[in-house]
Amino acid sequence: MARLQKISIIIVLLLLNAPWLSDVLGFKEPHPLHGESTIIEEPEFSFDNLWSGEFQTSVDDFSRTNFLLRGMAIRTRNEIDYSMFCERHAKSVIAGSEGYLFEENYVLAALGLDAISEDTVSERVSRLSELSMATGVPFLFVLAPGKGSYFREFLPKEYLQRKEQSVNRMYEMWLDQLVLKGLRIQDLNSFFRLDKEVFPKNGIHWSEWAQVDAINIISDALLDILPDSLRPARLMIDSSYRSTIMEGSDDDIEQGLNLWRNIPDLEATYYNTHWEDVPAFKRPRILVIADSYAWGLVNKGLLRDGYRDSEFWFYNKGVHGPNIVQKGASPQTVHGFSTKAEFEQVISGFDAVVLLSTDANLPRFPFNFGNNVE
């Protein structure tokens, strides 16, 4: 009996000390979490911080968020809450009928409950039109689809009962203003509308196959506004196949829930692809200003293989591209502009600007682009 008590005490002590022991021994984190990173840097020691108590608090926060078994603990909590109470700990994730998963802003966009004033949209469109003329660079506006507007029949009933609904209000408002100002539009929202597989059941971004089609559609649209001497490479489709094992971002909401289980997915289409061989000097250099819907295109080689030395300004805040060393740095940091004239000079170095947004982000679109400097 005494031997069993000793073993029990040792096991309890090991469990209690597992966090710092795992860090000291350098073990890799099992089952890491998906989503936003919550890793905190190790606090720096100073006598002032120690005396004020700030150092002790920082060490406590560091230990709670960085310990090795944190992912396992959170997944276990999430699984229990999801299984027993249908509670989801992922930010803004809501469930519709038949198990379809949404993020709330896509539902609000579909029902027109997120609208800003038409005057605000008109002012933004005018500003972008003036910037295009000032720099001599053609702008292409890409209106991407949103999951809520495509799966309206699966939206949560409590949202469908809200007052002052106006279907796709922001999408219609932006479309009208862009047409009114005579700007070039690629309306992928309408293009994909008849295809119900544009969005996966457990994902929020457009399907992997739709991203491939979008790349080529955008490239075709740019051909009409680029000089004849320039043309982007196409992403060629070699073959297609169907699978219930999700690839890429097709189950990104499910991954963000951080559960132990695998939520069943619907069968989806996937392409085997390769980039057309177009010499680099013939490919245009473009700037992409967009939300997260552009990541699928970028990760498929859009900036490197489809175009030349191109850049993606994620939400107009972080710069990414094949030649960007400090990825995620602000446009001001990467290009060093501080005045409107310098900003316009940077923009004039591109052959075209592509501004892309899904309907859920249209209230923020174009993410303050054009107001980078006052």
172 exposure class (CB count in 10 Å sphere: 0-12, 13-18, 19+): middle
* Of the candidates 63, 50, 76, the residue with the CA atom closest to the CA atom of residue 22: 63
In degrees, rounded to 5, the angle at the alpha carbon of residue 87 between the alpha carbons of residues 83 and 89 is: 115
Q: Tell me, what's the pLDDT at 77?
A: 86
State the average pLDDT over residues 106-112.
95
The pLDDT-based confidence of 223 (bands split at 50, 70, 90) is very high
Nearest 5°: the CA angle 50, 51, 53 is: 65
- CA–CA dist 169, 355 (Å, integer): 19
- pLDDT for 43 beyond 70: no
What is the pLDDT at residue 366? 97
CA 351, chain centre distance (Å): 25
For residue 32, what pLDDT is reported? 75
The per-residue pLDDT of the chain, averaged, comes to 89
Residue from 169, 170, 182 nearest 126 by CA: 182
Q: Give pLDDT, residue 20.
A: 56
End-to-end Cα spacing for the chain: 77
DSSP secondary structure, 169-193, as one string? HHHHHHHHHHHHTT-EEEEHHHHTT
Tell me, what's the pLDDT at 87?
83
Buried b (16+ CB within 10 A) or exposed e, 324-355: beeeeeebeebbebeeeeebbebbeebbbbbb
pLDDT in tens, 268-311: 999 999 999 999 999 999 999 999 999 999 999 999 999 999 99
The answer to whether 268 and 208 have CB atoms below 8 angstroms apart is yes
Task: Identify the band that residue 45 occupies on the pLDDT scale cut at 50, 70 and 90.
Answer: low
Measure the CA–CA gap between 88 and 60, rounded to whole angstroms: 26
In 164-317, which ranges are E strands? Answer: 184-187, 235-243, 268-275, 286-290, 311-314
Structure tokens at 236: 């060629």
pLDDT band at 196 (very low <50, low <70, confident <90, very high): confident
Backbone phi, psi, residue 165, to 5°: -80, 145
Q: Note the pLDDT of residue 68.
A: 63
Sign of CA dihedral 14, 20, 23, 25: negative
| Residue 34: predicted pLDDT | 74
Of the candidates 103, 94, 116, 101, the one whose C-alpha atom is nearest the C-alpha of residue 171 is 116
pLDDT band at 6, cuts 50/70/90? confident
Per the document, the length of the chain is: 374
pLDDT at 228 over 60: yes
240 pLDDT exceeds 70? yes
Share of the chain above pLDDT 90, in %: 69
pLDDT digits (tens, 9 = 90+) for 20-41: 566 555 555 656 777 655 566 6
**Confidence at residue 8, expressed as pLDDT on a 0 to 100 scale:** 78
Which residue in the block uniquely carries the two structure tokens 């029902």? 111
pLDDT for 18 beyond 70 = no
- The confidence band for 74, taking pLDDT boundaries of 50, 70 and 90, is confident
Measured CA to CA, the distance from residue 142 to residue 212 in angstroms comes to 15
- Partner residues linked to 140 by β-bridges: 184, 354
Q: Which residue do the tokens 């591209």 mark?
A: 321
